[in-house]
Structures are given as C-alpha cells and as structure tokens.
Chains A and B, each alone.
Chain A
C-alpha cells in the first residue's frame, strides 16, 4: 500500500519529537524538578539533615519548623528527604553508567571479534542472566558486606547483561556492513573502526537500554538500603530512611511513606522519559503508530459527498462511487476514489493495476476489511443482490463474510493462522455459518481439501500451515473460501506469491471450480496475462481510480487508455521474455498529492495541455466499454 510511505518524510529533530509526546514532557518536568532540588541541596536554607532534636521527634506533617515533620530522632524530614534523594539519584546514575560502560564494552568486543570471543563472553552473560536479578545482587552484597558502595557495585553488575546483549546484537549487524569492510580495506585499525564507525551507531541502543534499566537500578538500590544492606547510618538514602522508619509506620506513617513516595515519583519520571525516548528512537513505532485495525472498516461519509446512484439490483455485486481513504498523519490518502463496478452471477471480473492502484483496497472495501484506522469509507454504495452492505449491522456483516462472499488472499503463509491445523481453519468457517458439529465440519474440510486437489487430504487435514508447500497452502485458502459455497469469491492476487508452474495449477483449479459451481469471481491481479486467461471482463485501475473497463477480448485487442496499453506491453510474450522488463517509466502519483487533471499525465506519452487542466471523466466509448482519457476516441 503506497498509502503508508509518508512516514519516512523529513523527520524533525529529536527535541520537537520528544516534546510532542506529552507524557514524556511530564516525566521530564518531574525529573528535572527532583534533580534540581537535589543538586541545590547545599545552597537551600535547610537544617542539617543529621541534626537531632529529640523534643521534635516524630513531629507530624506541617509542624512549625518541620514542614514534612521530623523522624524518630527529631531530624527534619524535608532536609533528610532532599539529601537522601541526592544520594539515591547519585547512586542510581553511577550504577547505571558503570553498567552501561562495562556492558557495552563486553557487547562491542563480543560482536566485533565474533567467534570464540563472542561465544565465551555471551555464555558468561547467559550465566549471569540465569539468576533471578535481585538474588545475584544479594549474593554479591553478601560477599562484599553491606554498604552503599557495595550495593551500587552489586546492582551495576546485575545490569551489565542487558547492555552487553543489546549492544552485541547491534554490533554484529554493523560489522557485516559494507562501510566497515571498506574501513578495513583502507587499513584502519580495529580501534579506529570501533570508535569511528561503530560506536556512533551504538549510542541509540545504549540510550534505550539505559532508559529501561535506570528506573530498576534506583528501585533496587533503594530496596537494598531498605533491607539494611545499602546505605548505613548516619549516611541515608531514600531506601534506608524508609527501612529505618518501617517499625514506626503505625505511629508516624509519614516518616516511612514520604521517602517511598519520592522514589515512586522519581521512577515514574524516569519511566515516562524512557518511554518517550524509546518511542523516538525505535523506528518501528514511527508516525503512524501501531494502530489496532477494527473489526470492520469505519463508514463515515464526507459531509456533502454526492448521494451515489443505486447499483442495479440484478447484479450479484454492484459498487458505485466508492471512496476509501486513509487518514495518515493528518493527510488524506485517496487509496480508492469514485470506483464503480458490477459483477454478475457466474461472471469473472478482473481488476488490474500496479501496487498502490487501489485494486486491493477496492476489493477489501466490499466486506469492509480495510483496516480502520487508518482507512475509512467516505462515500459510495456497495450492494449485494440489492442489499446495501455499507449500512449493515456488524452481526449481519459477519453473517455474510465467508458465507455468501468469500476471500482468497495473496500470501498464504501470512494469511493462515500458524498455530491451528489447516483442517481446523477450514472447519471453523463451516461451523460458523452452517452450525455443524466439530466432527461433521472436519469431515467436510477433508472433502473440500480433496476438491482443491490436495493429495492425502485425510492426513493433511491435521497439518499445520508451515508443514505445507506454498501451493498447497494456497489450495487451503481456496478450500476455505469454497467452504460455504459462496456466490461471490474475491481473490486478491492469489497466485502472486507462487512460482510459475504452481500458478498455472491454481489458475486451472479456479477455472474448473468456477465452471462447476457458477460462482462469480472478482480477480485482483497486476498481471494482464492472468486476466486474459481467466476473466470475462476487466477493469484497469490507476492511482485509486478506474481508468478503463470492457470485455477482456476487446480491451486486449484494442486498449484505449494509454496506461492500459503500457500494461499490455509489459505482458511477457512467449519467445520474447525480455519484454517483461519494458516497465512503465516513472511512478504513479502519491495518492495524498494527486495532481489536477489526469492522474496519468506525468507518465503519459500522449499528454497534451488540456489533460492537466480539468478532471477527466470515465466516459463510455461503446456499449460495453468506458475509458478515462480525453483522447480515447483518437486512433
């Protein structure tokens, strides 16, 4: 789908991108506030955090002179919290940096030198990861003895594996790149290559790992102090304050709970910023985001969109003025616009076009299988034997799906559920629509598999998709479509992923099934050769619009649209295999920036002034043919 290409358009710098993430900004504010106060502790007018004042012991919140109260020795809580935060923050940051440094070093060396160095280092890292995280830290503290420095050391060590692993992975990928080879060839030493070529590329992964582990490290060092294994009195961090006040929690809860609250705030801040950084640095979560496609394409007609003419009731499937648009990053991609078609009982209509022409979107729109977001049907009418499909309730739509109208999809590996047997996947649709029992449905599944000529169907029925060949998987896809004897099958490039001989077998199968059952077939393809082989009528699409329709034989003999002509030139002819390479120069226009006038103008060899000025209509040029070209009637 060309509709998703805009994400790679000029990316703004990191700061604007981080700022757009409101949660990350909140985190940054929390973090900055805490860090600033902690850093400023020496110059703030605070009482000595260790000055005891027994008369004030366990003073409640908002006591005079002690806004946050005082602890069991009458020490000022506010001052202690601020100084304690300083310690916690410093310990966490130092532990994180140390883990990052050592872990990255191990990862780089392992990834760069590979072979036994890699094996040895990574096995050692695996061993460290075989321990429950905190337990390993405890063992280290046990050996070194309690103390803040030892706790820091322990927490740092247990976090090294996270850095080593992720850095090694990226380094491995980088070492295989061409520029590293090039640097080697020019005689650069290992060190120069590491610092010059590899290190800069590792920074993102190191930052990402830091952003995930820093929060843990602060939590765990505080935890060790809480257990009395970290900071030792009189030194105090947030964890040890909490630990020492634990026994008093009934008498003076604030003394124990406030330090914990500060830890919580601090870690929330870190995690918010960390999430923001990850979203920013992880390319998978680009601008479109991972939106969840809904169960059915949203239908939301544009205000003022013309009322479509009703499709003829006689047609098995009638589409008029269909407009399916994608809303991506505030831009509207007209993936299919003003599309109309009729499919009569028992007929085969081919829809031809390059990828991005809107042929698949049109096909998926019929049963509202275009993902929303980002897709939505903004206008038009789709009728099935006179029944309006766009107005159907979800339950009624589901009753139709796979029952009266069935799909066969392109890539049969991706479109089958990898965890279910193929028999189960066929039986599932039978049970859904025919209310059969599991065993009846399974028996029918075997019949269907035989009908699509899968050898040894009785055994194959319990195979998983990955155990079948590509051609057999596609036969399963066809069996699934046939399961409820639909009156329309929509096949979306069903042979594209297969090699040539298998393609021919699948086409034979479809042709025979159509002859036997009289099912109407809507066949989507980019290959005119296949259309010539299988279809009665053809419809050519370009940049989301229909540009030519007509009986296959007529269109093949006398294509009227310049684009159709060029497509036909691409069809390989026996004995002239090179002709397939005669692709059409240029690219179709992006469907979010369609030019005025004819959309094909930039690639057309017959273009004239007038083509670019006004919209070109899809005009009839004979009883059965329409063409969207102002020069269609010229020879």
Chain B
C-alpha cells in the first residue's frame, strides 16, 4: 500500500506539470497585447509597462514559462488588478467554500446514486427501476442553473424553508447549523446531475456483477440476498464505481460555477465568472490552477480507495 501510494504520488507530478503548461499556453493564446488584455479596463500606461516587464514579455515563451512556474512554486500567482490584492490570498479565501459545497454534493450524489443504482439493479424492470430510470434521465438532462432557480423559488421564496442565497445569515448566523441550512439547496442542486451519472453506472455495473459466477457461488452457500448483494456484488461493483466518482468530482467542481452564481455562494466559481467578465486574467489563472490541482488530488484519493478495495491491483 505504501509503495503504491508513493508511486501514485510520483505520477501526479507530471500531471500537475502538464496542467501548468496548458494553463500557461491558454494564456499565451490571448490575442493582442497580453498586458493590455490582462489589465483590461484598469490599464494605465504605467501599469501596462510594469506588467509587460513583470511578465517578461520581451523574453521567449520558454523563458517566460520557467519564470512563471518559479513564481508559482513560491506561491506567487500574481496580483489581481480588479481586487488589488495578491491572487493567492483571494483564491485561498474562496477555496474553502467551494470545497465545502463540492464535498457536500459529492457525498449526496455518492450515497443517493449508489442507493438508486442498487435498487434499480435488484428490481430490474420492476416499477422501482422504471421510476428511478426516468428520474435519472431527467436528472442527467437538467440544466442545474435552471433547477437552482426553481428550488429557490419553491423552497426559499414560497415555502421559506431555506435561505435564498449566501453562506451565512447576515444577522445572528455563523454557526454550523446556519451553514448547513444555507448549504442544503446549493449542494442538492449541484448533486443532481452527478447522482444521475452514478446511479446509471451503478445499475449497469451491478447487473454485470450479479451475473458473475462468484455471485452464484455465494448463493450456492445459502447466503441471503442481502449478504449476496452487499458483501459480494456491491463490493465488486464499487471497484469500478469509485474511479468514476473521482471523475465526477470534475463535473461537480465545474458545475459549482453555476451553482455559486445562482446561490451567491462565495466560492472560486463565482470569483472566476466575475474575473472573466472584468478580464482579470491572473485571477482566472490562479483559480483554475488551484481547482485543477484539487481535482488531481481527489482522483488520486479515488485511486487509493480503489486500491484498498481491490487486492488484485499491483502493490
């Protein structure tokens, strides 16, 4: 296990490296004078000149990259011109809410998706399966930003069960309960699509596993269906499902952009949208890099969980 973990850790170094190259290249795509584009409406001739120098635009692309990467390594992601503060500070502040939102959604979609998929599989073609399959189809096809609006309209405005937006109540909030209360709707909205994906995958994987010979062996031992499903079938299915849950985090982290906008959640997603509108390129760059790095780490975690579940994967 330890050696596998180390090997897997070593493997993410080139991935992180690649991510930095891609982000760097995308920013090099900016048409016209990057300094002007980065500064956008905040451009004064002084600023432009300084930034051109900061960015080393007079040097070759490779040199620019090396300098840029060196700065990143020191935690220097540049300065946000629209906020007038270091990018790293802003990103650090907003990473927590985004991870909280994504984590809650991930928990929801994993639990609900697995449950729905297992029920669908063991009641294949039954009414439970039909209803769940329909719900999954709708879930997979729902624009989450639209669903968020509806949920706000119904549960916040009409029924007043949940707050309309934000992370804490402005007056008298601030405790965990208040946070969960604010978290509920955004987390549910964000989880819908991923729940559909996981439910669908769980159903098909379970159906495949249930046809395998070792399930017949388990039944031939006289084990009850509960044990057969849980201990034998689901566990084997999980080996294939866990990496997909890891990949789903990517969709959840992306979808968070919409949900944070709809619910005014103070996370990186909303920051990115504002930063793009104000053309605050360095802020976008920092946000994308940090979230992408988180995604890589989450996938690493999913791999390690899969390794723990499956003794056949090389040590």
Check: A144 CB closer than 8 A to any chain B CB.
yes
* Contact call B219/A138, Cβ cutoff below 8 A: no
Check: B49 CB closer than 8 A to any chain A CB.
no
Check: A520 CB closer than 8 A to any chain B CB.
no
* Contact call B212/A130, Cβ cutoff below 8 A: no
A261 to B141, CA, bound (A): 10
* Contact call A291/B124, Cβ cutoff below 8 A: yes
Q: Which residues of B contact A226 (CB under 8 A)?
A: 143, 145, 258, 261
A264 to B143, CA, bound (A): 7
Name the segment of B2-10, B61-69, B284-292 touching the other chain.
Answer: B284-292
* Contact call B292/A144, Cβ cutoff below 8 A: no
* Contact call A132/B249, Cβ cutoff below 8 A: yes
* Contact call A419/B210, Cβ cutoff below 8 A: no
* The one of B147, B213, B275 that contacts A409, using a Cβ cutoff of 8 Å: B213
Q: Which residues of B contact A292 (CB under 8 A)?
A: 121-122, 124, 206-207, 210-211
When each residue 1-39 of chain B gets 1 if its CB lies under 8 Å from chain A and 0 otherwise, what string results? Answer: 000000000000001001101110011011100000000
Q: Which residues of A contact B153 (CB under 8 A)?
A: 249-250, 253
A466 to B224, CA, bound (A): 26
* The one of B140, B262, B311 that contacts A466, using a Cβ cutoff of 8 Å: B311
* Contact call A146/B277, Cβ cutoff below 8 A: yes
- Give the size category of A's interface with B: 35 or more
* Contact call A146/B276, Cβ cutoff below 8 A: yes
* Contact call B291/A142, Cβ cutoff below 8 A: no
* Contact call A142/B149, Cβ cutoff below 8 A: no
Closest Cβ–Cβ distance, residue B269 to chain A (whole Å): 9
Check: B146 CB closer than 8 A to any chain A CB.
yes
Check: A389 CB closer than 8 A to any chain B CB.
no
Q: Which residues of B contact A228 (CB under 8 A)?
A: 273, 277
A371 to B216, CA, bound (A): 9
* Contact call B146/A264, Cβ cutoff below 8 A: yes
Q: Which of A484-515 contact B (CB under 8 A)?
A: none
Check: A145 CB closer than 8 A to any chain B CB.
yes
Check: B142 CB closer than 8 A to any chain A CB.
yes
* Contact call B207/A401, Cβ cutoff below 8 A: no
Check: B89 CB closer than 8 A to any chain A CB.
no
With A253-B153, A409-B213, A415-B213 already in contact, the answer to whether A135 and B220 are too (CB < 8 A) is no
Q: Which of B180-238 contact A (CB under 8 A)?
A: 204, 206-208, 210-225, 228, 231-232, 235-236
Check: A627 CB closer than 8 A to any chain B CB.
no
* Contact call A127/B18, Cβ cutoff below 8 A: yes
* Contact call A414/B212, Cβ cutoff below 8 A: yes
* Contact call A123/B18, Cβ cutoff below 8 A: yes
* Contact call B141/A215, Cβ cutoff below 8 A: yes
* Contact call B207/A290, Cβ cutoff below 8 A: yes
Smallest Cβ-Cβ distance to B309: which chain A residue: A419
Check: A417 CB closer than 8 A to any chain B CB.
yes
With A144-B31, A402-B221, A415-B214 already in contact, the answer to whether A290 and B204 are too (CB < 8 A) is yes
Q: Which residues of B contact A402 (CB under 8 A)?
A: 220-223
* The one of A135, A270, A293, A417 that contacts B236, using a Cβ cutoff of 8 Å: A417
Q: Which residues of B contact A179 (CB under 8 A)?
A: none
* Contact call A132/B254, Cβ cutoff below 8 A: yes
Check: A98 CB closer than 8 A to any chain B CB.
no
With A132-B251, A415-B216, A466-B311 already in contact, the answer to whether A399 and B137 are too (CB < 8 A) is no
* The one of A246, A263, A411 that contacts B149, using a Cβ cutoff of 8 Å: A246
Q: Which residues of A contact B309 (CB under 8 A)?
A: 419
Check: A480 CB closer than 8 A to any chain B CB.
yes
When each residue 111-145 of chain A gets 1 if its CB lies under 8 Å from chain B and 0 otherwise, what string results? Answer: 00000000000011011101111111111111111
With A127-B18, A145-B279, A264-B142 already in contact, the answer to whether A418 and B257 are too (CB < 8 A) is no
* The one of B15, B284, B291 that contacts A132, using a Cβ cutoff of 8 Å: B291
Smallest Cβ-Cβ distance to B211: which chain A residue: A293
* Contact call B292/A132, Cβ cutoff below 8 A: yes
* Contact call A403/B222, Cβ cutoff below 8 A: yes
When each residue 382-414 of chain A gets 1 if its CB lies under 8 Å from chain B and 0 otherwise, what string results? Answer: 000000000000010011111100110101001
Q: Which of B91-111 contact A (CB under 8 A)?
A: none
Q: Which residues of B contact A367 (CB under 8 A)?
A: 220
Check: B310 CB closer than 8 A to any chain A CB.
yes
Name the segment of A33-41, A191-199, A306-314, A426-434 touching the other chain.
Answer: A426-434
Q: Which of A577-613 contact B (CB under 8 A)?
A: none
Check: A89 CB closer than 8 A to any chain B CB.
no
Check: A369 CB closer than 8 A to any chain B CB.
yes
Smallest Cβ-Cβ distance to B138: which chain A residue: A268
With A132-B250, A290-B207 already in contact, the answer to whether A256 and B276 are too (CB < 8 A) is no
* The one of A219, A264, A398, A400 that contacts B224, using a Cβ cutoff of 8 Å: A398
Check: B152 CB closer than 8 A to any chain A CB.
yes
A595 to B250, CA, bound (A): 59
Smallest Cβ-Cβ distance to B299: which chain A residue: A130
With A132-B249, A132-B251 already in contact, the answer to whether A429 and B18 are too (CB < 8 A) is no
A291 to B228, CA, bound (A): 17
Check: B281 CB closer than 8 A to any chain A CB.
yes
* Contact call A419/B236, Cβ cutoff below 8 A: yes
* Contact call B219/A401, Cβ cutoff below 8 A: yes
Q: Which residues of A contact B23 (CB under 8 A)?
A: 139
With A292-B124, A292-B210, A417-B214 already in contact, the answer to whether A138 and B143 are too (CB < 8 A) is no
Closest Cβ–Cβ distance, residue B218 to chain A (whole Å): 7
Check: B87 CB closer than 8 A to any chain A CB.
no
Q: Which residues of A contact B223 (CB under 8 A)?
A: 398, 402, 428-429, 432
Check: A518 CB closer than 8 A to any chain B CB.
no
Which of A142, A264, A466: most chain B Cβ within 10 A?
A142
A142 to B82, CA, bound (A): 14
Check: B48 CB closer than 8 A to any chain A CB.
no
Check: B253 CB closer than 8 A to any chain A CB.
yes
Check: B169 CB closer than 8 A to any chain A CB.
no
Check: A229 CB closer than 8 A to any chain B CB.
yes
Smallest Cβ-Cβ distance to B289: which chain A residue: A139
* Contact call A127/B15, Cβ cutoff below 8 A: yes
Q: Which of A180-232 contact B (CB under 8 A)?
A: 215, 219, 222-223, 226-229
Q: Which of A241-274 contact B (CB under 8 A)?
A: 242-243, 246, 249-250, 253, 256-257, 259-261, 263-264, 267-268, 270-272
* Contact call B152/A135, Cβ cutoff below 8 A: no
Q: Which of B244-261 contact A (CB under 8 A)?
A: 249-251, 253-255, 257-258, 261
Which of A127, A263, A296: most chain B Cβ within 10 A?
A127
Smallest Cβ-Cβ distance to B143: which chain A residue: A263
* Contact call B311/A219, Cβ cutoff below 8 A: no
* Contact call A133/B251, Cβ cutoff below 8 A: yes
Check: A295 CB closer than 8 A to any chain B CB.
yes
Smallest Cβ-Cβ distance to A128: which chain B residue: B22
Q: Which residues of A contact B214 (CB under 8 A)?
A: 414-418
* The one of B27, B141, B146, B207 that contacts A257, using a Cβ cutoff of 8 Å: B146
With A215-B141, A295-B225, A415-B217 already in contact, the answer to whether A466 and B211 are too (CB < 8 A) is no
Check: B312 CB closer than 8 A to any chain A CB.
yes
* Contact call A134/B217, Cβ cutoff below 8 A: no
Q: Which residues of B contact A291 (CB under 8 A)?
A: 124, 207
* Contact call B26/A268, Cβ cutoff below 8 A: no
Check: B157 CB closer than 8 A to any chain A CB.
yes
A141 to B138, CA, bound (A): 29
Q: Identify 9 residue pairs between A and B in the complex whose beta-carbon atoms are under 8 Å apart, listed by A's number.
A: A142-B26, A142-B272, A264-B143, A268-B141, A290-B207, A292-B211, A409-B216, A417-B232, A429-B222
Add 7 more A-B contacts to A136-B22, A292-B210 (CB < 8 A): A128-B22, A130-B292, A242-B145, A257-B146, A260-B146, A415-B214, A419-B311
Question: Which B residues are closer than 8 A to A by beta carbons?
Answer: 15, 18-19, 21-23, 26-27, 29-31, 121-122, 124, 137-138, 140-147, 149-150, 152-153, 157, 204, 206-208, 210-225, 228, 231-232, 235-236, 239, 249-251, 253-255, 257-258, 261-262, 272-273, 275-277, 279, 281, 284-285, 288, 291-292, 295-296, 309-312
Q: Which 5 A-B pairs have the closest CB atoms?
A: A134-B254, A260-B146, A127-B18, A401-B222, A402-B221
